[in-house]
Amino acid sequence: MSESAAKTDAKGYWSATLRLTATLLFIWFACSYGAGIVFRDFLDQFSIGGAPLGFWFAQQGAIYFFVALVFYYCWAMKRLEKKYRVEAQ
Amino acid sequence: MDQTTWSFVFVGVTFALYIGIAIWSRAGSTDDFYVAGHDVNPVLNGMATAADWMSAASFLSMAGLIAFLGYGGSVYLMGWTGGYVLLALLLAPFLREFGKFTVPDFVGDRYYSSFARVVAVICALFVSFTYIAGQMKGVGVAFSGFLGIQYEWGIVIGMVIVFFYAVLGGMKGITYTQVAQYCVLIFAYTVPAIFISLIITDNPIPQLGFIGNVKGTDVSMLDKLNQVVSDLGFLEYTSTSKSMFDVFCITAALMFGTAGLPHVIIRFFTVRNPGAARISAGYALVFIALLYTTAPAVGAFARLNFVETVNEATYISDENYEAAATAIIAQGGTPVPQWFKSWEQTGLVGFEDKNNDGLMQIRGPAAPDGLANEVDANNDIFVLANPEIAQLPGWVIGLVVAGGLAAALSTAAGLLMVISSAVSHDLCRRTLFKQMSDTTELRVARVSAAGAVLAAGLLGLFASQLGFVAQVVAFAFGLAAASLFPIIFLGIFWKRMNKEGAIAAMLTGLVSTFGYIYFFKFGGGTPEQWLLGVSPEGIGFVFMWLALGVGIVVALMTPAPSQDIQDLVEDIRVPGNRLDHGIADSGMHPIDNT
């Protein structure tokens, strides 16, 4: 460990990471299992283009959300690392 | 040039490319061999991961499977992509910070137990061997189906190619060939998809064509498809016969299984640091999503096109297709499309005139006119015949053949790495001969990679006779979800998790999932006996919770792990904090990150 690591707030960093992870996993669950499976029949009364919305979530939408979630996670983790002065290598 | 020549050209050129990369990227150390020196660019690693992940099944079979299953096919689409969110958020960065070579490495060190390491080795070997049998079979089928080479020789050629870059280059060789293979396979997949989307919906982007209208009308493509298939007595395309709970469980088993598959996890050991592991998972998902969002469009277009062009067409048994087709058109009929005739020889499509009217009836189980179905089509036909359906030139078909081989070989190579490192590193270096030097280990690693190639080839040869490849893939995902995922997850997120809990959890997941799938696939179990109505494909998810529960209860009843291990867990949660820890690192020091 270098000297700057002494100022690292590892505890704060970890609890912020856990909060972020829980929030993102909630969205992950909602856009796939929620919109694509459990609430699919309800959502199918709406449509996106020519596709029923619930069906679209199951075959397309959930995947777009997954990609967005992972990139947001990367960006947010970089910010957390700065904020809690976690040494990036 | 005809089709077969084009196929030979593309396959030859791509294979030469793979061998060239193998020679250029020879591995000089165990670091190179197992984890490509920890120095792979995250974007390239993302591509390699995508190629590693997308197998012959994703490339050839998935679109056709979705075409037949409609909404039911969503389990594969969500299941095989959503796992990457779990990987990025819960596993990859932490395992990278841990800084070792393999999945059993993490299990053995985190749980300070050779026994746990060996159980993890067994899980990893089992998962990888079931998976690789399917890949070798895919290679054999591609060679025999397109190039007219015997199935057995096809497998031998595939083995020689993989042997070159896996044994010479290890993870380093595999990584850079996988990058090339990704480019080949995604190009081969999207080009025909764009053309068929143009034909059916007039939109060049398949993902938009999927939600668009049928060309020249204001009826949406999916409404039309629903109408067409339900008129013939099939289930509506946007519905499924599976129960909601079963769909839920299968999706979840595939997702958690993806996150627990050793050949996917080890790809994230090859990048420089935890941040790179995170972004690399993101890129991998983008590259996978390119194919996975195209596949449902291809499936739907292909189903619509298949029914519209084949149903009620007049069959031609004549040698001279052109003359017979012209005669039928002159009488006001529709001849069977030419691609159907050419694929008939491969046995992937077939027609049997049950009512002797000379017309080809496609009918579902609830056909309103009570006629029997006369047309059989294999799932793989939709991707393979797409270029011909879209009337694309012969070289596109050659491209698709090369793409299918790239998909099968890249996945096979990734699995071979898991098998060889489990043997040379986890069994030999870390369990049996702890004093082994780095040079000896590298030699052992090459020998075990060679042995694994041979074993995989033999499996591929036998798989053709046994024919249960599709069945055993359920094992791979179920076992990865129920035995590997829970203990890796708890090992990172719960400091209190100990050796006893981990062993109990792994064994619970392994035995229950194996037993359940074996009983229903080979032991004569019937769907009425399914636990909670969950099919064998989805049971890994249910038993994952059982394994988690058992692991936690056993851990709480037994002593906590030593302070050293608990400190280790705190270290890997924060990038750049990893220190040497006595017990876990006694056999081998973590890889220096700086």
Task: List, in sequence order, every residue forming a beta bridge with A47; answer none if it has no partner.
Answer: A52
Query: Which chain B residue has its CA at the smallest distance from A70's CA?
Result: B282
Query: Which chain A residue has its CA at the smallest distance from B252's CA?
Result: A33
**What stretch of H or E contains B434?**
none
Tokens of B227: 């109408």
pLDDT at B284 (0 to 100): 94
Which one of B221, B238, B244, B258 makes the best mutation probe of the A interface by having the most chain A beta carbons within 10 Å?
B238
A86 closest CB neighbour out of B207, B222, B576:
B576
Residue whose pair of structure tokens reads 């990367």 in the numeric block: A74
pLDDT at B254 (0 to 100): 92
Give the distance from residue B220's alpha carbon to the nearest chain A alpha carbon, in angstroms: 5
- Single out the residue of B512, B516, B541, B418 nearest to residue B135, CA to CA: B418
Say yes or no: B213 contacts chain A, CB-CB below 8 A.
Answer: yes
| CA B306 to centroid of chain Cα atoms | 26
Task: List, in sequence order, every residue forming a beta bridge with B359; answer none if it has no partner.
Answer: B314
Give the distance from residue A8's alpha carbon to the nearest chain B alpha carbon, in angstroms: 10
pLDDT at B593 (0 to 100): 44
Chain B residues close to A50, C-beta within 8 Å: 211-213, 220-223
The Cα-based distances of A23 to A28, A29, A72, A81 in angstroms read: 9, 10, 12, 18
In B255-317, which ranges are E strands? 313-314
Q: Please list the helix, strand and coil fractions of chain A in percent, rounded to the nearest 5, in that order.
A: 75, 5, 20
Residues 542-571 of B with CB under 8 A from A: 570
Query: Which chain A residue has its CA at the smallest distance from B207's CA?
Result: A60
Digits of tens for pLDDT over chain B (594 positions)?
677 788 888 888 888 888 888 888 777 777 777 777 778 888 999 999 999 898 887 888 888 888 888 898 899 999 999 999 999 999 999 998 888 888 888 998 899 888 998 999 988 888 888 788 777 877 777 777 677 777 788 888 888 888 877 787 788 888 888 898 899 899 989 998 998 898 888 889 999 988 988 888 888 888 888 888 888 888 888 888 788 888 999 999 999 999 999 889 988 888 888 888 999 999 999 999 999 999 999 999 988 888 888 888 888 887 788 888 888 888 888 888 888 887 787 777 888 888 888 888 888 888 888 888 888 887 777 887 878 877 788 788 888 888 888 888 888 888 888 888 888 887 777 778 877 787 888 888 888 888 888 888 888 777 665 545 555 666 788 889 999 999 999 999 999 999 999 999 999 999 998 888 888 877 777 777 888 878 888 889 999 999 999 999 999 999 989 888 898 898 889 887 777 766 566 555 555 443
Chain A residues close to B88, C-beta within 8 Å: 70, 73-74
Query: In a 3-state reduction of DSSP, which class is residue B235?
Result: coil
Give the distance from residue A37's alpha carbon to the nearest chain B alpha carbon, in angstroms: 7
In sequence order, which residues have a C-beta less than 8 Å from that of residue B443 and are 6 or more positions away?
none
C-alpha B132/C-alpha B226 separation (Å) is 37
Contact A63 B579 (CB under 8 A): no
Contact B222 A13 (CB under 8 A): no
Interface predicted TM-score (ipTM) over 0.85: yes
In sequence order, which residues have a C-beta less than 8 Å from that of residue B38 and are 6 or more positions away?
B31, B269, B270, B271, B272, B591, B593
C-alpha B186/C-alpha B189 separation (Å) is 5
Contact B576 A88 (CB under 8 A): yes
Domain locations in chain B? 3-304+393-470, 306-378
Which one of B574, B579, B591, B594 makes the best mutation probe of the A interface by having the most chain A beta carbons within 10 Å?
B574
Query: Which chain A residue has its CA at the smallest distance from B287's CA?
Result: A67
Tokens of B39: 């120095």
Query: Which chain A residue has its CA at the smallest distance from B286's CA?
Result: A67
Contact B273 A24 (CB under 8 A): no
Task: Domain B3-304+393-470: give its CATH code.
Answer: 1.20.1730.10
What is the end-to-end Cα distance of chain A in Å, rounded?
12
B485-493 helix and B499-521 helix, angle to the nearest 10 degrees:
160
Model pLDDT for residues A10-57, shown as the tens digit of each residue: 888 999 999 999 999 999 999 999 998 989 888 888 888 888 899 999
Task: List, in sequence order, every residue forming a beta bridge with B314; answer none if it has no partner.
Answer: B335, B359
Residues 74-133 of B with CB under 8 A from A: 74, 77-78, 81-82, 84-86, 88-90, 93
Domain locations in chain A? 7-83
Residue whose pair of structure tokens reads 């400190």 in the numeric block: B567
- Single out the residue of B503, B509, B501 nearest to residue B546, CA to CA: B509
Chain B residues close to A63, C-beta within 8 Å: 77-78, 81, 289, 292-293
C-alpha B140/C-alpha B159 separation (Å) is 10
The CA dihedral of A61, A63, A67, A73, to the nearest 10 degrees, is 90
C-alpha A66/C-alpha A63 separation (Å) is 5
What does the pLDDT average to over A60-65? 94
Q: For A34, how many CA atoms within 13 A lie in the half-sphere containing its CB? A: 8
C-alpha B315/C-alpha B333 separation (Å) is 10
Q: Which 8-state DSSP code applies to residue B369?
A: T
Contact present, B256 and B86 (Cβ < 8 Å): yes
B576 closest CB neighbour out of A74, A78, A87:
A87
A63 closest CB neighbour out of B275, B289, B594:
B289
What is the end-to-end Cα distance of chain B in Å, rounded?
54
Give the distance from residue B44's alpha carbon to the nearest chain A alpha carbon, in angstroms: 16
Model pLDDT for residues A65-88, shown as the tens digit of each residue: 999 999 999 999 999 988 888 765
Contact present, B35 and B354 (Cβ < 8 Å): no
